[in-house]
């Protein structure tokens, strides 16, 4: 029979293995998640750099147009007011070229385009500056001749085409960055879902493990409590339980002046069964005896096994001698059919001693001694019978009607 302290090792190993796998999954997912977050940050940075580069390149074209518009207005009208947008556009072209190169967008083709655009822009700005200076010196015709040559227009077309091509290429690169960003975002979300699912699964597993441990502890506590107060073999209350129960019954009987009856039972010929068939069969016989005794008793009658082949019954209330005799007869007769396939009918019998509180004893010890004396009388009177304990002097007047006048010594009834 397994001890109540045995703890199954397999569930513990399985729980530890499950926990280790879950922690490994969380660790791996955490590494992947951090990498995805880092990649997302880099993608966000590249996206900002792409936007900044595209804006600065477009601003170069815008300011070239502003400078050219101011130059044309000044050449045609000679109004110095046109020099302000010209000068502002001229300065801004160089500023935006510098910002485009310093945007952090390190694509080699983009940087090469910026340097090429800077050369074209400088050529265009030199052409604009030369015509403006001629107009300032009072030679508008020479300035217009330079414009009519078409050099500046050609440079403007080159700058426009280069900027348009680069802006289109930057848009494509931006779309690629956004696609990669979305893919990483989805992977990060999937990893996060896996991590959260694993954590939830771990929490559920821990809850189930704790619940199972709590149930096992409760079962263990119940089993320990049961084994502390009950006989392991038969499941009947043991001597400790009987002692507590009987002492409470004694105290209640003293307060209420209501008697109770104790039957001490000892099996006859049980040692022969043990010696002949072995203790295994003996244990099976004892379990069957307990079942048959329980079947022979009525509700409210307390049955306990004190140890070995000794049993005891407590019956509350005024139990007459006839009632006690009837109960004893049922207990003894219940053992007649074979108690085990290996044994014969009536291989094991029972002898019973009956004592009434407080007539046969004023405390539990005295009552038990009186029942044992009556049991001794049954054993030596032929076995298989019930004997009543002697009545204490002065108690005869308080006995039930059908027991008054009984002899003061123990007597065998059957």
User: Buried (b) or exposed (e) across 279-317, using 16+ Cβ within 10 A?
Assistant: eebbebbbbbbbebbeebbeeebbbbbbeebebbbbbbe
Q: Where are the beta strands (DSSP E) in 206-348?
A: 260-268, 302-307, 310-316
> Which tokens belong to 94?
């160089």
Look-up of token digits 């792409």: 50
Helix (H, G, I), strand (E, B) or coil at 222: helix
Q: Residue 320 in contact with residue 413, Cβ under 8 Å?
A: no
Contact residues for 171 (Cβ-Cβ < 8 A; gap 6+): 54
> Which tokens belong to 256?
């209420």
For the sheet with 349-357, list strands across it: 302-307, 310-316, 260-268, 349-357, 386-388, 411-412
Contact residues for 246 (Cβ-Cβ < 8 A; gap 6+): 262, 314, 364
Cis peptide before 14 (omega within 30 of 0): no
Distance between first and last Cα of the chain = 40
Contact residues for 355 (Cβ-Cβ < 8 A; gap 6+): 261, 262, 264, 361, 367, 368, 370, 371, 374, 388, 389
Alpha-carbon span 330 to 312, nearest angstrom: 14
309 in active site:
yes
Q: Residue 301 in contact with residue 314, Cβ under 8 Å?
A: yes
Cis peptide before 16 (omega within 30 of 0): no
Q: Residue 342 in contact with residue 281, Cβ under 8 Å?
A: yes
Alpha-carbon span 176 to 226, nearest angstrom: 73
> Which tokens belong to 358?
């407080």
Residue from 243, 309, 318, 345 carrying the catalytic annotation: 309
Alpha-carbon span 158 to 409, nearest angstrom: 139
Alpha-carbon span 141 to 185, nearest angstrom: 63
- Helices within 137-266 (DSSP H only): 140-148, 151-229, 239-256
Tell me which residues are annotated as active site.
Answer: 309
């Amino acid at each position: 029979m397994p001890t109540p302290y045995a703890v199954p090792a397999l569930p513990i190993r399985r729980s530890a293995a499950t926990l280790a796998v879950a922690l490994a999954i969380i660790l791996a997912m955490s590494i992947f998640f951090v990498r995805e977050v880092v990649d997302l940050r880099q993608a966000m940075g590249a996206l900002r750099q792409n936007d900044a580069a595209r804006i600065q390149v477009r601003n170069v074209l815008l300011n070239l147009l502003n400078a050219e518009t101011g130059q044309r207005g000044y050449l045609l009208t000679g109004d110095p007011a046109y020099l302000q947008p010209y000068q502002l556009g001229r300065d801004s072209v160089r500023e935006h070229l510098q910002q485009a190169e310093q945007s952090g967008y390190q694509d080699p083709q983009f940087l090469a385009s910026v340097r090429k655009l800077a050369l074209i822009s400088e050529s265009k700005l030199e052409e604009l500056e030369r015509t403006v200076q001629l107009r300032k010196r009072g030679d508008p015709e020479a300035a217009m001749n330079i414009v009519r040559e078409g050099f500046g227009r050609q440079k403007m077309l080159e700058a426009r085409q280069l900027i348009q091509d680069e802006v289109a290429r930057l848009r494509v690169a931006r779309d690629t960055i956004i696609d990669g960003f979305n893919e990483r975002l989805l992977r990060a979300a999937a990893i996060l879902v896996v991590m959260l699912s694993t954590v939830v699964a771990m929490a559920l597993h821990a809850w189930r493990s704790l619940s199972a441990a709590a149930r096992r502890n409760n079962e263990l506590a119940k089993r320990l409590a049961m084994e502390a107060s009950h006989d392991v073999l038969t499941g009947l209350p043991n001597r400790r339980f009987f002692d507590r129960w009987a002492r409470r019954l004694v105290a209640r009987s003293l307060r209420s002046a209501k008697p109770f009856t104790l039957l001490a039972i000892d099996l006859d010929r049980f040692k022969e069964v043990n010696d002949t068939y072995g203790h295994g069969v003996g244990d099976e016989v004892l379990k069957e005896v307990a079942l048959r005794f329980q079947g022979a008793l009525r509700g409210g009658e307390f049955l306990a096994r004190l140890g070995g082949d000794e049993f005891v019954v407590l019956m509350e209330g005024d139990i007459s001698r006839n009632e006690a005799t009837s109960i004893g007869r049922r207990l003894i007769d219940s053992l007649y059919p074979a108690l085990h396939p290996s044994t014969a009918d009536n291989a094991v019998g029972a002898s019973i001693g009956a004592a009434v509180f407080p007539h046969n004893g004023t405390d539990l010890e005295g009552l038990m001694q009186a029942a044992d004396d009556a049991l001794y009388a049954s054993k030596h009177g032929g076995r298989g019978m019930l004997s009543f304990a002697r009545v204490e002097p002065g108690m005869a007047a308080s006995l039930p009607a059908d027991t008054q006048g009984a002899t003061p010594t123990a007597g065998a009834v059957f």
